[in-house]
Structure 1
């Protein structure tokens, strides 16, 4: 694949990313009965799998159209820009998950005390999970498609336009806008009130593996802490606080481009 560079004004980069986000969300509702059926309905999930497959093919082609071919030997290919390369793969797979698990130290402690960890050692848990379309959506299809579109396909145009620092903050905004449709679904179908739906629609940005982990853990169940004896409550609160502190302390060292062999976005 020939090397390309991306040189777009900030306003054009913003509009293009907004187009990607609208295309992503719109593809979920092109089916005739998409509004009438719950998002967890088997038909809805299968059709949205098809939509995500099509979107993940078309958007990279649109991205390629905005790249400028170059003969510069130091330039990178589109796949390089999108982070699709083996170099740095293992560190990104392990460290991103480890960092996110540190942030979820409190909920993981709850899982341990509730005996949830024993499920992960049961082969039946994994075999049943792989038969569930909802599990596959939450742990495989959604993390991959969302990170692919909102990170891999947007950062190549956002970083040259805004710089690394601003792009880190701008990119999640498109992801947040795209997830408003979850809130709308839950409210219109009478599943939740507006306030509760809004809270559940807030997502933590992370690489695909960390994204899947976040989907699995869900929003931290702070209320469960008070169901334990006081001595255990103190330990649980300490684990929540310690996890947050360690995550902040580890964030920049663990996300250093050097660890992942990434010199493209180290601007």
Structure 2
């Protein structure tokens, strides 16, 4: 088993392997012709902030056949990344260390059960948006909630399968489990694992700039929008990655970061100002709910995220 005084890999090797995982994952959606996007080369001047309509022979990311091909691609890529971790662990296994390789690899990758408390930290943070949904009566089984609309149409569609299941699961396996396992074997500090490794996750979203540029007309304005949106997305995904890394390392399980990823995708980015503008008479209570979520999150993150005898946090 790894010890701080004798890392099994070099940090350089960890950097290279984490970069390889990102290339395999992102590259998988471009390796197959059926998974690649296709856009017209026409330049279209549009009002700022307005996307153009899809042309007949184009292939956009929400096309069902594109989604199906990409789901297969990233699932295969995830399996390959896990296989690489197995191979690395087998090759760095020392003669004086006798253990079951498969069980040990699963443990490092976080394929273990989690306590309940790490799973409820993210919903606590979203107390504000959840309270707004309560006021709108759109929480499960409330008056304005419907099984067909809020479950079948949203979660059981091909887009829902991508957004709420396959993408969160595969991304957390690759960019949390695989990447953090490699950095752990290299003896990286917790601080580096939390604040360095998610940059790979953020960088893996840069390729979305290509789609943004084409969808907004291939003009200088479209290029500017693509750059700005990419910077924002890189920042957001990196910060979210810090949080998911912390959850993974503290709990030793993939379940908390996967649950957090799914929940955040479902809830979207909180918009307190917009929500208050819709219900100005509830401004005080909505603000209080948001404040409660932020304070509760800050106080409960550390105690609720820890699991006894966690491999990564002893």
Pairwise TM-score range, normalised by the shorter structure: 0.7 to 0.9
Provide the C-alpha distance between the structure 2 equivalents of 1:73 and 1:40, rounded to a whole number of angstroms.
Answer: 48
**Counterpart of 1:72?**
97
Provide the C-alpha distance between the structure 2 equivalents of 1:47 and 1:17, rounded to a whole number of angstroms.
Answer: 24
**Counterpart of 1:234?**
284
Unaligned runs of 5+ in 2: 39-58, 245-256
TM-score (ref. length: structure 1): 0.85
**Counterpart of 1:146?**
171
Residue 40 of structure 1: SS of its match in structure 2?
coil
Does the 8 Å CA contact 1:96/1:210 hold for their aligned counterparts? no
Q: After the TM superposition, which residues 52-201 of structure 1 pair with which residues of structure 2 at under 5 Å, given as runs?
A: 52-67=74-89, 68-70=92-94, 71-72=96-97, 77-85=104-112, 89-91=113-115, 94-118=116-140, 122-124=146-148, 125-161=150-186, 162-190=188-216, 193-194=225-226, 195-196=228-229, 198-199=231-232
**Counterpart of 1:32?**
33
Which digits, 9 at most, give the CA deviation of each residue in 1:65-114, with x for residues without a partner?
222224535787111111113xxx141xx333310011111111222222
Does the 8 Å CA contact 1:200/1:219 hold for their aligned counterparts? no
Structure 1 residue 123, shift from structure 2 partner: 3.0
**Counterpart of 2:16?**
15
Q: State the structure with more CA Rg.
A: 2
Question: Matched residue pairs, number?
Answer: 257
Closer, same or farther in 2 for the Cα pair 1:198/1:97, shift >3 Å?
A: farther
Provide the C-alpha distance between the structure 2 equivalents of 1:14 and 1:217, rounded to a whole number of angstroms.
Answer: 33
Runs of 4+ residues over 6 Å off in structure 1: 3-6
Unaligned runs of 5+ in 1: none
Please give the root-mean-square deviation of Cα atoms over the aligned residues, in Å: 2.6
TM-score (ref. length: structure 2): 0.73
